């Protein structure tokens, strides 16, 4: 399947690899059977995790919370060199899951009457989005959050990808500190992919701009707003923004990527990277337990008033992934058994994460691969957790 939805996630040789979650979720859903009962155990989930490790993922850490309590799993290895196992409390780079944190902050600011999501981007970032047919006056903050702005994805720029994402470019530049507006400038050197409001099209540029709006509205660093409003409030002790740090807090495992298209069996340790390179759209570091606490609190109404939570969960059609629709920093997905779950996935070079949750937040499930390949195994893990059997 060909898709235009590109995130810095899976597989990760070439731009096609950036869309592997979209590809994994794009298969036809099975016949709708109505909401499935929550599995009494997580045996099917563990089998799907084991299958993903057998398919090539070095290691997986996972946690589920539901009416039965808390279930944790750590499978495979966290360090290919030493053979050390993955840990149940591992911290990892969450990638685009960061966007839910940003969206939550902006919705809180809306509830506080500090901005409207229907404000233009130009109002808050004057002169930033312009040139080559790009016009911040015609794009709203809401369109940044639901990815209907049409802005070009900087992660689709070949020169950027060759410099910072793939092959020798990544290995040479992974420690570089990048100003966050550099990625915006890369995107705006291209005309928009679509006019604002025409359709959903995932662009990492939107999330960077949304974090910039957070700073302009709040008068503080985006990291400070996330920490004060979410991390500290919920006691997420394993969650942080790295700034320019290159290492992961412990406990953690190593992250692995296939950076070279012409050497598909070559696996590189890509654990270390300057956090500034994913500022605002993919920099947050967390654990499965912390992400579950975050999404349970979010869906349980502990972070947003009812009106803002309703806005967050108002979705637009995703033409590239028929079984998924996109809200404001969260997505809805129909699984093979007909059950709807909410989720957000995130990819970084060396990592894939998925956080999923029921609409009431009472069943949450997060898992992380310490690799950015074998993305085709993601959907079977989700199916196993919520349907009781992996998708066939």
* Distance, CA of 25 to CA of 324 (rounded, Å): 8
d(CA 264, CA 166): 12
Which residue in 41, 68, 73, 96 is the catalytic one?
A: 96
Q: What are 333's two structure tokens? A: 């997905």
Q: How far apart are the first and last CA of the chain?
A: 18
> Is 286 among the catalytic positions?
no
Taking the C-alpha atoms of residue 360 and residue 296, their distance in angstroms, rounded to an integer, is 8
The whole-angstrom distance between residue 15's C-alpha and the CA centroid of its chain comes to 17
Q: Which helix (H) or strand (E) holds 44?
A: helix 43-54
Whole-angstrom Cα Rg for the chain: 19
Angstrom distance (rounded) from CA 253 to CA 77: 8
State how far the Cα of 149 lies from the Cα of 15, in Å rounded to an integer. Answer: 21
Angle at 45 between CA 44 and CA 47, to 5 degrees: 65
Residues designated as active site: 96
């Amino acid at each position: 399947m060909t898709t235009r939805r590109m995130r810095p996630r899976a597989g990760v040789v070439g731009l096609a690899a950036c869309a592997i979650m979209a590809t994994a979720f794009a298969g036809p859903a099975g016949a709708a059977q109505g909401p499935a009962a929550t599995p009494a155990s997580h045996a099917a989930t563990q089998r799907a995790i084991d299958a993903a490790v057998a398919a090539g993922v070095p290691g997986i850490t996972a946690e589920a919370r539901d009416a039965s309590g808390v279930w944790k799993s750590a499978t495979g290895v966290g360090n290919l060199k030493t053979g050390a196992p993955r840990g149940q409390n591992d911290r990892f780079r969450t990638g685009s899951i960061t966007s839910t944190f940003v969206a939550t902050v902006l919705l809180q600011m809306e509830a506080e009457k500090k901005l409207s999501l229907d404000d233009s981007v130009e109002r808050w970032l004057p002169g930033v989005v312009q040139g080559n047919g790009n016009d911040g006056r015609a794009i709203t903050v809401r369109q940044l959050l639901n990815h209907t702005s049409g802005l070009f994805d900087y992660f689709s720029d070949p020169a950027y990808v060759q410099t910072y994402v793939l092959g020798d470019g990544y290995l040479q530049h992974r420690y570089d500190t990048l100003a966050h507006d550099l990625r915006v400038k890369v995107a705006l050197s291209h005309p928009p992919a679509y006019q604002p409001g025409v359709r959903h099209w995932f662009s990492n540029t939107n999330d960077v701009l949304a974090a910039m709006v957070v700073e302009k509205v709040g008068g503080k660093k985006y990291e400070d707003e996330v920490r004060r409003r979410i991390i500290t409030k919920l006691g997420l002790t394993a969650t942080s923004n790295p700034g320019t740090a290159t290492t992961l807090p412990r406990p953690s495992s190593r992250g692995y990527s296939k950076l070279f298209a012409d050497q598909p069996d070559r696996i590189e340790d890509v654990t270390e990277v300057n956090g500034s390179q994913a500022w605002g759209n993919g920099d947050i570091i967390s654990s499965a337990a912390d992400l579950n606490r975050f999404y349970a609190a979010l869906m349980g109404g502990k972070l947003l008033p009812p009106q803002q939570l309703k806005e967050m969960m108002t979705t637009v059609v995703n033409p590239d992934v028929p079984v998924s629709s996109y809200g404001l920093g969260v997505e809805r997905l129909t699984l093979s058994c007909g059950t709807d779950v909410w989720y957000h996935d995130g990819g970084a070079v060396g990592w894939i994460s998925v956080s999923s949750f029921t609409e009431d937040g009472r069943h949450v499930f997060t898992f992380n691969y310490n690799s950015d390949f074998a993305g085709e195994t993601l959907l079977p893990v989700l199916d196993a957790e919520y349907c009781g059997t992996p998708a066939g």
